Amino acid sequence: MFRVERLTKRFANGAGAGPLTLQLPRGSTYALIGPSGCGKSTFLRLLNGLLTPDEGTVEFDGQRLTPANLAAIRQRIGYVIQDGGLFPHLSARGNVSLQAEFLGWSAQRIAARMAELRELVKLPDDLLDREPARLSGGQRQRVSLMRALMLDPAALLLDEPLGALDPMIRAELQDDLQRIFAELEKTVVLVTHDLAEASHFSRDILLMDDGRVVQRGSLRDLTRQPANEFVERFVTAQRTLHAEAPA
């Protein structure tokens, strides 16, 4: 589904991503993990063309991303950011239907798709008429997921979708997202700081450091066969973090 070759993006402060050469085949869930500033979010934005690479290429479903086809390809890639990123002046319903209305979908088609998605994410219908400020963090993320799925995209990118939620809501949404990913069978790339969360969603974890993937594999691979000292330290820090979490 995604294929990148020598993909590189650097900023003035030296941060960024790459060079990266890898493939993310269709129909699986991939977890990107690593410390803050390692390039996870930059890589995600390069995948859907929100950033233009300095070098290298991105291919989506066999098509290289170019200015000419970028708008069409973006309609096939759903995108969810932390805390939803909803437009505050629109209702939840207005946020979800925005792209479909722009593309000229009929009211009947939008209503039918809205009903499917509301059932999928377990969101009560009456909440769709509220503005984002009147929704809880978990509800905003469910609306954001509906918006990302409205056009039935082939792939779904999620950038720290649960990072700002309290532990109980986060655990509930983890289970719901896992169910949704399995049900839809889409290609999913999810960014997280949490190794336990990464392993909850995926057996294919990509651990990044300084813009590069330093190890790719299962949680078992990372914990039992770390590729280098950084991987070992990262895994140890994650274990310590969870061990010290308050009961």
Q: Per residue in 1-11, pLDDT tens?
A: 999 999 999 99
Which residues are CB-neighbours of 235 under 8 A, at least 6 positions away? Answer: 195, 222, 223, 226
Residue from 68, 78, 119, 115 nearest 93 by CA:
115
**Both tokens assigned to 229:** 């000292």
Instruction: Kindly report, residue by residue over 22-64, the tens digit of the pLDDT.
Output: 999 999 999 999 999 999 999 999 999 999 999 999 999 999 9
204 Rama class: left (phi>0) / alpha (psi -120 to 50) / beta: beta
In the 8-state DSSP scheme, what is residue 44? H
Domains, the chain: 1-76+156-218 (3.40.50.300), 86-152 (no CATH)
Q: CA-to-CA distance for 107 and 57, rounded, in angstroms?
A: 38
Dig out the tokens for 136 from the structure. Answer: 């809880």
Quick: pLDDT tens for 63-74.
999 999 999 999
pTM of the predicted model as reported, rounded to 2 decimal places? 0.93
Say whether 214 sits in a helix, a strand or coil.
Answer: strand
